[in-house]
């Protein structure tokens, strides 16, 4: 199992990406959470409200997840980070494989 972390500017965009990932069966589950982000741009430090997606998928689907997210995302340079998982309980791993079949 692999996790992808994606930030979005609005809940609507986060839901749109999530639904498309599930519809295309490239993710088994997506969690959405509100977050506060602080970053630097040319004008200095900025603080904004965003939504994070925590995408649960398998290694062979990572590129497809990135492609779907980029195709919908409104940010010029979106954050799409991938994390490999060291261990996962067998039941959830089996469920994920079935959900994406």
**Domains of the chain, start order:** 2-94 (3.30.70.120)
Tally of CB atoms within 10 A around 21: 26
Q: Is the pLDDT of residue 101 over 90?
A: no
Q: Is the pLDDT of residue 20 over 90?
A: yes
Q: Provide the pLDDT for residue 84.
A: 86
Q: Provide the pLDDT for residue 41.
A: 87
- Place 8 in a pLDDT band, splitting at 50, 70 and 90: very high
Q: Give which of 47, 12, 46 is closest to 32, Cα–Cα.
A: 12
Per residue in 79-100, pLDDT (tens digit) is: 999 998 888 899 998 999 899 8
Question: 11-23 vs 62-72: helix axis angle to the nearest 10?
Answer: 140
Per residue in 40-71, pLDDT (tens digit) is: 988 999 999 999 999 999 999 999 999 999 99
Q: Provide the pLDDT for residue 82.
A: 96
Q: Provide the pLDDT for residue 85.
A: 83
DSSP state of 16: H
């Amino acid at each position: 199992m692999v996790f992808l972390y994606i930030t979005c500017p609005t809940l609507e965009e986060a839901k749109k990406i999530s639904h498309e990932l599930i519809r295309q069966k490239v993710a088994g589950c997506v969690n959405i959470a509100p977050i506060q982000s602080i970053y630097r741009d040319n004008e200095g430090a900025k603080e904004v409200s965003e939504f994070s997606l925590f995408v649960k998928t398998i290694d062979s689907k990572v590129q497809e997840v990135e492609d779907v997210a980029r195709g919908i995302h409104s940010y010029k340079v979106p954050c799409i980070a991938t994390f490999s998982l060291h261990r996962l309980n067998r039941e959830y791993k089996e469920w994920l494989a079935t959900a994406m079949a």
